[in-house]
Structure 1
Amino acid sequence: MTDMRVSSQKSSPEPQSRAPKRQRGHERVAVLLAAAAKVFLEKGYDAATMTEIAAAANSSIGSLYQFFPTKLLLAEALHIDRLQQLNNGLAELAEGIRGQTAAEIGDAIFTRLGRFIEEYPEFLVLAARRDVPKERKAKSRAELRASITALLKNAEPSVERDIDLLASLVLELLRIIVAAAYDPDGSGDPRLVSELRRMLRKRLEEVTP
């Protein structure tokens, strides 16, 4: 009988974010995400509390938990939104870089990343989290790599032969920049981005026929 009781027990389902169904709900979620971005940036992800986020959104803690039962789910929703903004920003480069060399496209990608970080500085905090799900991390990297590959395909002369390697290189350098930019002690060397940018340009120039 004991074995039967144990086997019939079901584990509690993992909490899930609640998708809003009405316009008012979408607006409420947008306010909550903006408040989370503010608190995460000011306090850091680990130190931030759901109570502080609710207060920053002028919302009750119950309303916050209604849409985001845990801080992890809230951070994930915000992280995914910011990654989408980054991908959108890269996609917007497509028209302006047609006919440019691979090195010029690389410069344009670096410039857009810098603009993105200025607009969404909380992204640095989100990217530095230790609890980012591995599956989502892999998916996000694949999406960013695809965006970079699409841009490099516009290069003239073509770098099609090395495009997969180059896209991976650009992605890795962007990751290094994001990691280096998140420096709570403020001791990062400001010359790092310029050096990485110069290194990428040289590499892209080498593969250009």
Structure 2
Amino acid sequence: MSSQKSTADATTARSPQRERGRLRVAALMKAASLVFAEKGYEAATMTEIAARAGASIGSLYQFFPSKEALADALLAQYAEQVEAGLGAITAGAAALAAPDLADALIDLLVGLKDERRAVMVLFEARREATAPPSELRDAMRRAIARILALHAPGLPPPRAAAMAVAVLQQMKAAALLSVEPDLESRDEALAELRRMTRLYLAAGLAPA
């Protein structure tokens, strides 16, 4: 029994109870996200992550007893951030003009670009221990299809589902462009992709 408990403790993050602790955890997770994105999962060390956050190694281990626990916490946090972002868009979908809806969807993953870079690394490294990325992808498609249906109530469900796949691809493309190194025309390219998404939704969601 005790050996099972110690194994669980080694892979489970500890939730802070006070505001100071929550701020510390947020800083540690932000640092971890950057280090994982830059170095990869295997090369990243807890010592480097603590140093990047300006914290002691003891403070890091206080909340994350292992690198695995830290990685899994980042994956869970990203899924929660995406879910919250899509939930906020869902709440206002019916009232948004198509161009504004397009902007909101594009901005979601672009706004999480740093987190997304780390998550792509961690999904690969932790694929045997965590839910596959396809689960998050499918959940996002369903949420986007619901958003489109709320905006255009007459939209047939099969078309909403198909459009959701296309829109998610555009969202991912925008996120990739936003972090592509040495791309001199990044802002212009993102503007073009945003314009494409606006035109696509304006045409696809227009009343028949």
TM over 0.5: yes
Task: Please state how far the C-alpha of 1:128 moved relative to its aligned partner.
Answer: 3.5
Q: Residue in 2 aligned with 1:141?
A: 137
**TM-score, normalised with respect to structure 2:** 0.70
Deviation per CA, 1:111-160, whole angstroms, max 9, x where unpaired?
4444x24xxx4214213314252734122213322331221122236323
Alignment correspondent of 1:123: 115
| Inter-partner Cα distance in structure 2 for 1:91 and 1:151 | 9
**Greater share of helix residues, 1 or 2?**
2
Structure 1-normalised TM-score?
0.70
Counterpart-to-counterpart distance in 1, 2:25 and 2:136: 22
1:101 touches 1:157 (CA, 8 Å); kept in 2?
no
Matched, 1:16 2:11: yes
List 4+ stretches of structure 1 deviating above 6 A. none
- Structure 1 residue runs of 5 or longer lacking an equivalent are 1-11
Which sits farther off after the overlay, 164-173 or 104-113?
A: 104-113
2:147 partner amino acid: L
User: Structure 1 180/71 Cα, relative in aligned 2: closer, same or farther at 3 Å?
Assistant: farther
1:5 alignment partner in structure 2: none
CA shift digits 1:16-71 (9 cap, x unpaired) = 12333743765553342233245456x44455431122123444324423433443
**How do 1:10-159 residues align onto structure 2 when only pairs under 5 Å count?**
15-20=10-15, 22-23=17-18, 26=22, 28-37=24-33, 39-40=35-36, 43-45=38-40, 48-100=44-96, 104-114=100-110, 116-117=111-112, 121-129=113-121, 130-133=124-127, 135-156=131-152, 158-159=154-155
- Paired residues, what number? 193
**Counterpart secondary structure, 2:196:** helix
User: What is aligned with 1:199?
Assistant: 196
Larger-Rg structure: 1
The answer to whether the Cα contact below 8 Å between 1:99 and 1:154 also exists between their aligned partners in 2 is: no
Give the root-mean-square deviation of aligned CA atoms: 3.4
Cα distance in structure 2, aligned partners of 1:33 and 1:170: 29
Percent identity (aligned)? 31
CA–CA distance in structure 2, aligned partners of residues 207 and 26 of structure 1: 42
